[in-house]
Amino acid sequence: MLLYQSVGPNPRVATMYLAETGFEVPRRFVDVIAGENRRPDYLAKNPAGHTPALELDDGTVIAESLAIAEYLDERLGPTELLGDMAEARAATRMMARMVDQLVVVPMTIAFRGAEGHPVFKDRVACFPEAAASMKSQAQDGLAKLDRHLGERDFLCGDRFSLADILLFAFVEFGGQVGQPTGDRPSLQRWQERVATRPSAAASADPTPRSAFARPRHRSPPRMSLSRDTLLDIYRRTMKIARFDEKMRSLLTSGKLAVVYYTVRGQELVSAAMMAALNKDDYIVTTYRGQHDQIAKGVPLDLLLAEIIGREAGTCKGKGGSMHITHPKSGVMVTTGVVGSGLPIANGLALSSQNRGDGRVTVACFGDGASNIGAFHEAMNMAALYRLPVVFFCQNNHYGEHTAFADHTRVDNVAKRADSYGMPGVRVDGNDVEAMYGAAREAVERARAGDGPTLIEAMCYRMMGHFFGADFSYMPADHLAEMKEADPLPRLRKVMLDHQFAEAELDAIVEKIDAEIEAAEKSAFDSPPPGPKELRRDIFAREIAA
Amino acid sequence: MSEITMTQALNQAIDEAMAADEGVILLGEDVGAKQGGGVFKVSAGLTEKYGEQRIRATPISEQAIVGAAVGAALAGMRPIAEIMLMNFVAVAMDQIVNHAAKLRFMSGGQTNVPLVIRTTTGVGVGFGGQHSDMLEAWFAHVPGMTIVTASNAADAKGLMRSAIEYDDPVIFIENILCYGLKSEDPGKDHRVPIGKAAVAREGSDCTIVTYGRTVLDALEVAGQLEGDGVSVEVIDLRTIAPYDEEAVLASVRKTGRAVVLHEAVRAFGTGAEIASRITETLFGELKAPVQRSGGTFSAVPMASALEQEWLPKKEAIAAAVRRTMDWRR
């Protein structure tokens, strides 16, 4: 079986049903905003073009969320959601039918004629002239259900049923598209009750519903990855992880005393992003950027020598970890000033646009940078000129020592893209398929001349702001969540699921470790830069002594 | 002989550079044809010739303008970023000071930033405290920055061309009051080397070291003093930083007296550095302490009479020269 899913209230009925029952059904995400459900391959499966749709192993396709849920309940259940006795099932079907007639139908017609009109007008029959009266009809329906609920916990009394799932999906949807529940106490109490169920959060759309009103706002595409791509990402990830571990051990042992911003927890986001780039594409990154530099291909010996301040370093020891530059790998600037890389990325991209060299520039930054002026100036300019740039926000939940919610009122960086006129994508950065899918799509879009994308890759900074810094301010539930999300075991599992052998993966890490050992030796063997370097590289010509 | 204004000189220099090198682009507020070719018309006619991809009218976003120019320069282009008025560089300071100026050094010479930031300013037009300042000292203090300004149209043309071809970031300061100044057209492909001062007037008793619009004041004062039997040499630095120390010291060695003059606020101005270097190097040969003349230590006022009072007046410049002449140990 394969469940075709998308954003929207009907698909939510199916996902909420699955979350309630725990039934595991493989899913494929269909990007309805982009019109993927109107393409021939999808229409061949489901001529109505609706999501969700359930494809059975024999090729049969079941459409319509209630039919899917009932089918699954009969195949894999029964569960209380439909009911185990004929009377209970009849009660569920009666209430579901009422919800459908009273609320779902008028609300949907109203939505397609009003808030959803820009998206739906070229896809299905829309009736803008009927929108207002359909909205009031949906409100009448909600009033009837409010009266029906009265003191009941759920539509079928004390049993939570499929009818509640259907109503909940649409009541929540309505609240986000200009059809709020209004002052209906029983319905509101019921809604709050249902909202506390884990299945409510688990089935919420990855992007806010405003996506419908603003069609440029996109949901992340998942991408099934080839073995070569997976292996490539695995290599980059482990190179970052092992290098970071080496850095931490050098610092802990006292062999080294430099400021170092560990990238523990952000290995995979960067590996997947850079795997979507070409060698000659540009990146600009920040002081916490060793993962980006390694993933983009800066040789480890030059990198380590630079971090420890030696002549053999990428920048002759004059830049350090906060200013790694290596144009041969496309690493053009590493800045120590939060947000400053974004305007510069625009300039690199502008050069590519003028020259037609086909290069893409990626600007790497953290969630903290999303509140500095340079971010806003750069996003606007990039969208204005349709520059081939990808704004890659690695949202690690903390700007220095301040949690995201304590520095930003909105809950999401990606949605800011709407206000600049570019797509914004929020993605679980530690989900390799989602992360690589988002990266590939943004890079291809930029390369095709279709302009910038803002990717918000959710990840965790698994240590303090700089290595050795206290991070006891992180709450326990955040630490637990972070541990759960650790990209390294997660990626390892994906690799094993894809039939890579343990031995093969271990051999890759061994090879990386050997490279790091060699880099360590050559870096520490290199002398520090001499005093002449103070007169060099200030201007093209050396300054006289 | 045909004459050109400073506006035409700048326009021609940019035009010639754009024709010679595809990598030369101009970014700035209102610089395009749709906006009339710049507030002071320096880029008039360029969009028609080179298109909107090379003449980029930008949003009012100074950080984004300079940042984009830095990025394009890193990729090997030769961008000219226009910051409409010099006070607005404050908005772009991070990009200029932390990035443009330092990237060559911090990258160990792997990258460089061949960027020109054109900006205009000037006291005497009643624009008040946020549209008039000369802020060259801010940048002169930053290793890696080069600052130039012209006192006449011919130099403006030659300096602009050289600045565009220069491999490091250059701030090109224009003065609103000088746009109409006319010079004999120096012709096509004229260049004035970066880092070279000019002797604007020869003299033997006292050297006035200055740059930009105050060169005109210095020349006028020199003319007046000549009648009193004082022979003043005027050095026009043209490149403010790093300045042509050799030319300054050679002149002061000859005259034994020096006045450093600039429109910018005198306190902590570039004049302090230059006066100090003259004193450190030529103390034994100086016939008098080096004098300084510059703007008043206040914000630039709007009211015309007060604004004129704010400037280093010609009487004050002449008085500074006389102090060096009258000095007795």
Shortest distance, CA A377 to any CA of chain B (angstroms): 5
Judged by CB atoms closer than 8 Å, whether chains meet at B105 and A537 is answered as yes
Are B69 and A347 within 8 A, CB to CB? Answer: yes
Cβ–Cβ of A315/B54 closer than 8 Å?
Answer: no
CA distance B270 to chain A (A): 20
Q: Which of B54, B63, B106 sits opposite A319 (nearest CB)?
A: B106
Q: Mean pLDDT over residues B88-116, rounded?
A: 98
Shortest CA gap B259–chain A (Å): 27
Is pLDDT of B57 > 80? yes
Contact residues for A177 (Cβ-Cβ < 8 A; gap 6+): A111, A114, A115, A116, A209, A212, A213
Contacts of A385 in chain B (CB under 8 A): 56
Whether residue B86 has pLDDT greater than 90 = yes
Chain A residue with minimum CA distance to B75: A348
Which of B25, B144, B146 is facing A354, going by the closest CB pair?
B25
Cβ atoms of A290 and A364 within 8 Å: the answer is no
Phi, psi dihedral angles at B178 (to 5 degrees): -100, -10
A110: DSSP letter: H
Mean pLDDT calculated for residue range A273-292: 97
Decide if pLDDT at A199 tops 60. Answer: yes
Closest by alpha carbon to B168, among A542, A336, A318?
A542
**Nearest-CA residue of chain B relative to A379?**
B64
Helix, strand or coil, per DSSP, at residue A363: strand
Cβ separation of B109 and A380 shorter than 8 Å? no
**Residues of B at the A interface (Cβ-Cβ below 8 Å)?**
22, 25, 53-54, 56, 58-59, 61-64, 66-77, 79, 94-95, 98-99, 103-112, 143-144, 146, 167-168, 242
Show residues of chain A in contact with B57, CB under 8 Å.
none
ipTM for the assembly: 0.95
Facing residue for A325 by CB, picked from B56, B95, B111: B111
Model pLDDT for residues A344-381, shown as the tens digit of each residue: 999 999 999 999 999 999 999 999 999 999 999 999 99
**Inter-chain touch B67–A378, beta carbons under 8 Å:** yes
How many contiguous H segments (helices) and E segments (strands) does chain A have?
21, 12
Cis peptide before B242 (omega within 30 of 0): yes
Q: Which neighbouring-strand residues pair with A366?
A: A394
A28-38 pLDDT, tens digit each: 878 777 777 88
- A284, A340, A350 ranked by CB distance to B94: nearest: A340
**What is the rounded average pLDDT of the residues B286-303?**
98
Q: What is the pLDDT of residue A210?
A: 35
Q: Higher pLDDT residue, A285 or A477?
A: A285
Sort out which chain A residues have CB atoms less than 8 A from B99's CB and list them.
333, 335, 337, 340, 344
Q: Is the pLDDT of residue A330 over 70?
A: yes
Please tell me which residue in B99, B131, B190, B262 is annotated as part of the active site. B131
- What are the pLDDT digits (tens) for B253-268? 999 999 999 999 999 9
Interface mutation target, options A385, A419, A539, chain B, most CBs of B under 10 Å: A539
- Residues belonging to chain A: 545
Taking an 8 Å cut-off on Cβ atoms, the answer to whether A332 and B71 are in contact is yes
CA distance A103 to A107: 6
Residue A120 has pLDDT above 90, yes or no: no
More confident residue, B37 or A454: A454
Mark yes or no for CB contact A351/B71 under 8 Å: yes
B305-316 pLDDT, tens per residue? 999 999 999 999
Q: Which chain A residue shows the shortest CA-CA distance from B108?
A: A315
Instruction: Give the residue-averaged pLDDT of B178-184.
Output: 97
**Coil vs helix vs strand at B206:** strand
Chain B residues whose beta carbon lies within 8 Å of the beta carbon of residue A340: 67, 94-95, 98-99
Question: What's the pLDDT score for residue A202?
Answer: 83
Q: What is the 3-state secondary structure (H, E, C) of B69-100?
A: HHHHHHCCCEEEEEEEEHHHHHHHHHHHHHHH
pLDDT, tens digit, for every residue of B213-256?
999 999 999 999 999 999 999 999 999 999 999 999 999 999 99
Query: In whole angstroms, what is the distance from residue A20 CA to residue A162 CA?
Result: 10
pLDDT of residue A196: 86
Q: Looking at chain B, which residue has its C-alpha nearest residue A375?
A: B64
pLDDT of residue B173: 98
What's the rounded Cα separation, in Å, for the pair A9 and A168?
A: 9
Residue B99 and residue A340: Cβ atoms within 8 Å? yes
Nearest CA-CA distance, residue B94 and chain A, Å = 8
Alpha-carbon distance of B88 to B98, in angstroms, equals 17
A539, closest residue in chain B (CA to CA):
B144
Distance from CA of A315 to the nearest CA of B (A): 4
Average confidence (pLDDT) over A11-19 = 93
Question: Which one is predicted more confidently, A400 or B193?
Answer: B193
The pLDDT value given to residue A54: 93
> What is the Cα–Cα distance from A371 to A399, expressed in whole angstroms?
10
Residue B63 C-alpha, separation from nearest chain A C-alpha, in angstroms: 6
Q: Write the single-letter amino acid at A44.
A: A
What pLDDT was estimated at residue A206?
A: 56
Active-site residue flag, B141: no
Cis peptide before A78 (omega within 30 of 0): yes
How confident is the model over A90-119, as pLDDT tens digits?
Answer: 999 999 999 999 999 999 999 999 888 887
Best probe of the A interface among B66, B105, B113, by most A CBs < 10 A, is B105
The alpha-helical segments, DSSP class H, found in A308-462 are 341-355, 373-385, 404-407, 432-447
Bridge-based pairing of strands B258-265 and B291-295 is: parallel
- Residue B220 CA, chain-centre distance (Å), reads 20
Of A325, A354, A385, the CB nearest to B106: A325
Q: Of A27, A42, A212, nearest to A116 (Cα)?
A: A212
* Element holding B119 (H helix, E strand): strand B116-121
Q: Do A340 and B95 touch (CB under 8 A)?
A: yes
Instruction: Quick: pLDDT tens for A527-542.
Output: 999 999 999 999 999 9
Name residue B112's amino acid. Answer: N
- C-alpha B259/C-alpha A438 separation (Å) is 64
| Chain A residues inside the 8 Å CB shell of B108 | 313-319, 325, 537
Mean pLDDT of all residues belonging to chain A: 92
| A323 neighbourhood in chain B, CB within 8 Å | 106-107
Can you tell me the distance from the alpha carbon of A35 to that of B3, in angstroms, rounded to the nearest whole number? 63
* Interface touch A384/B59, C-beta < 8 Å: yes
What b/e string do you get for A82-100 counting C-beta neighbours within 10 Å, with b at 16 or more?
Answer: bbeeeebbebbbebbebbb
Considering CB atoms only, which of A315, A373, A385 is closest to B63?
Answer: A373
Q: Helices A65-76 and A9-21: crossing angle, nearest 10°?
A: 20
- Judging by beta carbons within 10 Å of its beta carbon (0-12, 13-18, 19+), is residue A48 exposed, middle or buried? exposed
Condensed to tens digits (0 to 9), the pLDDT of residues A207-231 reads: 433 333 333 334 556 678 999 999 9
Tell me the sheet residues that pair with A398.
Answer: A403
> What is the percentage of chain A residues whose pLDDT exceeds 70?
97
CB contact under 8 A, B71 and A345: yes
Nearest by CB to A380, from B61, B66, B109: name it. Answer: B61
Å between A291 CA and nearest CA of chain B = 18
Given A343, A348, A352, which is nearest B64 (Cβ)?
A: A343
DSSP secondary-structure letter at A59? S
SS3 B233: strand
